[in-house]
Amino acid sequence: MLLPGGASCAGLARRAVDGLLIRHGLAELRDTARLAVSELVATAHRFTPDRETALRVRRQYDALRIVLHDQHPAHARPDEAERCRDRRSMWPLGAAVGEQGGDWGLAPALTADGGTKSWAFQHR
């Protein structure tokens, strides 16, 4: 799902994921999935305001995987890159998915233009 950017995209993404999980019989995962989507989208907005992001949600190997790609530009200096990787605001997400045996993380997107891939997964 492509999100156009902007602070309101977190709500749009939450509603889309909520409906998706209900339709596929995964309603018990909704609370943590909504939190994960909110945190991933909000953090992407913080680092790349008003830039398009791509959200992917899928069930694989009895786990729900949520991945968000943003357009955060690559950094020329390692210290700048490290500041962006240090996303301490993500601790609520880490606590929520960790409680269910899941995890979260982020990595540079492997594209010439940069970008970041952030993700969360939770077990069913």
- Parts of the chain with a pLDDT under 50: none
pLDDT at residue number 123: 87
pLDDT at residue number 103: 92
Q: 15 vs 21, 30, 35, 38, 59, CA distance in Å?
A: 10, 10, 11, 10, 18
2 backbone φψ class: left, alpha, beta (φ>0; ψ -120 to 50)? beta
Tokens of residue 56, six digits:
């992917």
3 state DSSP class of 53: strand
pLDDT at residue number 83: 66
